[in-house]
Amino acid sequence: MIDSRIIQELKLIVGTDNVATDRQDLLCYGYDATQMEFLPDAVVHPGSPEEIAAILKLANAERFPVFPRGAGSGFTGGALPKGGGIVLVVTRLNRILRIDTENLVAEVEPGVVTEQFQQEVEKLGLFYPPDPASLKFSTLGGNVAENAGGPRCVKYGVTRDFVMGLEVVLPTGEIIRTGGETYKGVVGYDLTRLLCGSEGTLGIITKIIFKLLPLPEAKKTMLTIFDSIDGAAKAVSTIIGNKIIPTTLEFMDHATLQCVEKRFNLGIPAEGRAVLLIEVDGDRDLIEKQAARIQDLIRPLGLVECKIARDAAESEALWKVRRLVSPSLRDVNPDKFNEDIVVPRSKVPDVIRAIDRIRQKYDIPIVNFGHAGDGNIHVNVMVDKSVAGQEEKAHQAIGEIFQAALDLNGTMSGEHGVGLAKQPYIHLELKPAQVAAMQAVKKALDPNDILNPGKMFPRED
């Protein structure tokens, strides 16, 4: 599809050093954090929005697909070049253009790594809350494209809630701006929100204007252990019901605790069936009071133990329990399917029970942990793909898990998106008219289906 003439044109646009066609380069841009692999025909590293515009114009003229890519840490294959075409890597656009301490906004390029941005704003006493677990390596562009979330979402919201405006290269090659840097603005459709979470199918993000907050003075971390998942879930609703919104409410179910304990021996008491990691932030005096109040509120709910960190080092030690989850899972089974369903907060125990039934039905290990505060649960179906039939089983179980979440008024993805991985299930959640409306938008912006084709919606062919 992509011949040497097109490669030549690409080189004219971005420079020879920024086009790669060696086999090794192709396969290094053919994977992401899913275990899928598709080889592109070329990898291009543009250095400006204008170059990206020129590439997309060429793509429309020559009809070849373009797959935008940030760090390639996506969990649903959004950046993978299924069917071939070019992978367009945006990481050369990696400058923090300005941090406006007066208006609390910042303008950045999409290739900036999330944590680096956080650190820069924090140096100025400001705060960018979205904190996907991949923040040390994922890009802000990728975060916006996937509308990434993290533990702090309970209190602060997801990436989208911090995006005020964008510069985007449309699939046809025009460069547009959406939104702006005012807190209010109601002129026209809200294209900014449309593009957040569009998974690189509607445009390539080349600049982002973020809203910032003042950096909270302090935070306090507590590790609370309950004798039942219901106790932990009740604790979540009790805390929020009493008008305390913690920064973080992370939970781990019994299976998760067993994994961590078996591998790392952290001394979690045997009667502990669920853990809630709670963090509050804000004024120093206030968080002391809040921590004490939280303890009082949750004590009657089957609290087995409550550890409160006194300083940053102790807080890190408590977070360690949560951070050790991923490395421990491998001990259960070598292959994991990580799904991130969401249900209304109060329905967390119901969905955990439903998942437990599915686990029994298929007789495969399923480990749950996640963001209890916003009902976002990481359901890890653990299998061994080399055992015949297991992968098949996992897919069936996953379908039922999605259905269970939907039955409880939930959704099948809170942060990872659809990409390629969740396409087979999208019709469980979206009705034909919804899909048609979405596809009409895609068609209007990308008439030749150049940009990230075959993602999100299953292809008719």
Partner 1 sequence: MIQKDSNVSALQRVENELKKCVKCGACRAHCPAFAAWQREPAVARGKVAVAQHILKGDVGLDDQTYAIMSKCLLCGSCVEKCPNDVPTDEIVVTAREVLARRRGLTTFHKAVGQVIKNRRLMSFGALAAAILGPLFFRKVPQTSGLRLRFPLPFVGNRRHIPQIARKPFMDRHPEVIQGEPGKPRVVFYVGCMTNFVYTEVGEAALALFRHLGCTVIIPKGQGCCGLPGMSGGDLDTVRGLAEQNLAALEKYEADYVMTACATCGGALHKFYPALIGKRHPELATRIRAIADKTVDAAQLLQQLGLHPEETGVGERLKITYHDPCHLRTRNITRQPRELLKGSPGVELAEMEGADKCCGLGGTFNVYHYDASLKINEGKSAAIEKTGADAVVTGCPGCMMQLSDGLKQRGNRTRVMHTLEVLARALGK
- C-beta separation of 234 from 279 below 8 A: no
- Judged by beta carbon distances under 5 to 8 A according to partner kind, the member of partner 1, ligand FAD, none in contact with residue 362 is none
| Residue 410 CB partners (closer than 8 Å, separation 6+) | 341, 342, 343, 344, 347, 351, 375
Q: Toward ligand FAD, which CB reaches closer, 34 or 333?
A: 34
Q: Toward partner 1, which CB reaches closer, 29 or 162?
A: 29
Looking at 324-387, list the stretches that DSSP marks H as alpha helix, in order from N- to C-terminal side.
325-329, 348-362
Taking the complex as a whole, the smallest distance from the CB of residue 250 to partner 1 amounts, in Å, to 17
Q: Toward ligand FAD, which CB reaches closer, 150 or 349?
A: 150
- Among 26-34, 356-364, 391-399, 434-442, which window interacts with partner 1 (CB under 8 A)? 26-34
Q: Toward partner 1, which CB reaches closer, 45 or 220?
A: 45
Q: Toward ligand FAD, which CB reaches closer, 69 or 359?
A: 69
Q: Please, which of residues 80-99 interact with partner 1 by CB under 8 A?
A: 91-92
Q: Toward partner 1, which CB reaches closer, 48 or 242?
A: 48
- Judged by beta carbon distances under 5 to 8 A according to partner kind, the member of partner 1, ligand FAD, none in contact with residue 68 is ligand FAD
- Judged by beta carbon distances under 5 to 8 A according to partner kind, the member of partner 1, ligand FAD, none in contact with residue 143 is ligand FAD
DSSP state of 116: H
- Judged by beta carbon distances under 5 to 8 A according to partner kind, the member of partner 1, ligand FAD, none in contact with residue 78 is ligand FAD
Chain centroid to CA 295: how far?
31
- DSSP states of 139-159 as a string? BHHHHHHHT---TTHHHH--G
Q: Please, which of residues 300-329 interact with partner 1 by CB under 8 A?
A: 326-327
Q: Please, which of residues 100-159 interact with partner 1 by CB under 8 A?
A: 113, 115, 134, 136-138
Taking the complex as a whole, the smallest distance from the CB of residue 334 to ligand FAD amounts, in Å, to 17
Q: Toward partner 1, which CB reaches closer, 261 or 429?
A: 261
Residue 346: count other Cβ atoms within 10 Å of its Cβ: 15
40, 49, 65, 72: which one binds partner 1 (CB under 8 A): 72
- Judged by beta carbon distances under 5 to 8 A according to partner kind, the member of ligand FAD, partner 1, none in contact with residue 92 is partner 1
Residue among 198, 394, 227 at smallest CA distance from 304: 227
Q: Toward ligand FAD, which CB reaches closer, 273 or 371?
A: 371
DSSP state of 216: P
Residue among 406, 410, 407, 337 at smallest CA distance from 375: 410
The Cα–Cα gap between 441 and 447 comes to 10
Question: In whole angstroms, how far apart are CA 339 and each of 284, 354, 394, 415, 417?
Answer: 37, 15, 11, 10, 10
Q: Toward ligand FAD, which CB reaches closer, 143 or 247?
A: 143
- Establish if 35 lies at the interface with partner 1 (CB under 8 A): yes
Name beta bridge partners: 321: none
- Among 32-40, 376-384, 400-408, 433-441, which window interacts with partner 1 (CB under 8 A)? 32-40
Taking the complex as a whole, the smallest distance from the CB of residue 81 to ligand FAD amounts, in Å, to 10
Count CA atoms within 13 Å of residue 233 on its CB side.
19
45 φ, ψ (degrees, to nearest 5):
-120, 85
- C-beta separation of 429 from 407 below 8 A: no
Residue 55 one-letter amino acid: I
- Judged by beta carbon distances under 5 to 8 A according to partner kind, the member of partner 1, ligand FAD, none in contact with residue 354 is none
Beta-sheet strand order (sheet of 204-211): 96-100, 105-108, 204-211, 163-169, 175-179
- Judged by beta carbon distances under 5 to 8 A according to partner kind, the member of ligand FAD, partner 1, none in contact with residue 91 is partner 1
For binding to ligand FAD (CB under 6 A), which residues are involved? 32-33, 67-75, 78-79, 90, 110, 132-134, 138-139, 141-143, 145-146, 148-150, 199-200, 204-205, 415-416, 452
99: enclosing H helix or E strand: strand 96-100
| Residue 306 CB partners (closer than 8 Å, separation 6+) | 222, 223, 224, 225, 295, 298, 299
Q: Toward ligand FAD, which CB reaches closer, 58 or 287?
A: 58
Q: Toward ligand FAD, which CB reaches closer, 230 or 279?
A: 279
Q: Quote the tokens at residue 450.
A: 């150049």
2, 42, 59, 71: which one binds partner 1 (CB under 8 A): 71
The Cα–Cα gap between 373 and 386 comes to 36
The Cα–Cα gap between 308 and 252 comes to 17
- Judged by beta carbon distances under 5 to 8 A according to partner kind, the member of ligand FAD, partner 1, none in contact with residue 25 is partner 1
The Cα–Cα gap between 276 and 334 comes to 26
Question: In whole angstroms, how far apart are CA 161 and each of 146, 238, 279, 309?
Answer: 13, 25, 20, 30
- Judged by beta carbon distances under 5 to 8 A according to partner kind, the member of ligand FAD, partner 1, none in contact with residue 241 is none
Annotate each residue in 187-206 with x if it binds partner 1 (CB under 8 A) or - if it does not, as one string.
--------------------
> Which parts of this chain interact with partner 1 (CB under 8 A)?
22-25, 27-29, 31-35, 45, 71-73, 91-92, 113, 115, 134, 136-138, 326-327, 330, 334
